[in-house]
Amino acid sequence: MVGPAVAITPFRGNPSGEMRMIEIRVDEEACNGCGLCVKDCPMGVFELKDSVSSPVHPENCMGCLSCHEICPAQALEHRGVVPCRRMYVSMKVCRMLNRVI
């Protein structure tokens, strides 16, 4: 496991003095309770509660989006993540759709 301090550093420096956290939302209707986010998260952010994923330690999230990537139901939404991964969006698809999806 990676130490949390390293991962959270980029989000320090909020004027209010608080550490800004990534906000994680779970679409409970969509979630199938497969537990892949629990298994894949390197920071132990998620737990299953009554067969629905719950972000019990959002403060540990380092924004790697592994959970987002593996979720079969696309039930997870992150706010406050610097979307560096989106640099690899396929421009061919976006041009065909006239928008960045």
Partner 1 sequence: MKIAIEELAGCSGCTIAVLDLHELILDVLEKAEIVYSPVIMDVKEPPEGIDIAFVTGAVRNAENEERLKTIRARAKILVALGTCAVYGGISGLSMLSSREDLFNYVYREVDTVAADGTIPSDVPPFLYRAFAVGDKVKIDYFIPGCPPKENRLRQILPAMVAGDHVSLSRKSVCSECDRTMGPIENWTLKRRFEGEPDPRYCLLGQGYLCLGPVTFCGCGAACPAKNISCHGCNGPSLDILREPCRDIFNMTVRRISDLTDRPEKEVAAELYDVAHTMYPFTMGSQVMEDKEISKIRELIKEGSR
Residue among 8 and 67 whose Cβ is closer to partner 1: 67
Smallest distance, partner 1 to C-beta of residue 6, A:
24
Q: What share of the chain is helix, strand, coil (3-state, %, to 5)?
A: 35, 15, 50
Residue among 6 and 97 whose Cβ is closer to partner 1: 97
User: In terms of DSSP bridges, do strands 46-49 and 52-55 run parallel, antiparallel, or are they unpaired?
Assistant: antiparallel
State the residues that interact with partner 1 by CB under 8 A. 27, 29-30, 32-36, 39-40, 51, 69-70, 72-75, 85, 88-90, 92-93, 96-98, 101
By the 8 A CB rule, do 72 and 14 touch? no
Residue among 36 and 45 whose Cβ is closer to partner 1: 36
Query: In 3D, which of 66, 18, 72 has the Cα closest to residue 46?
Result: 66
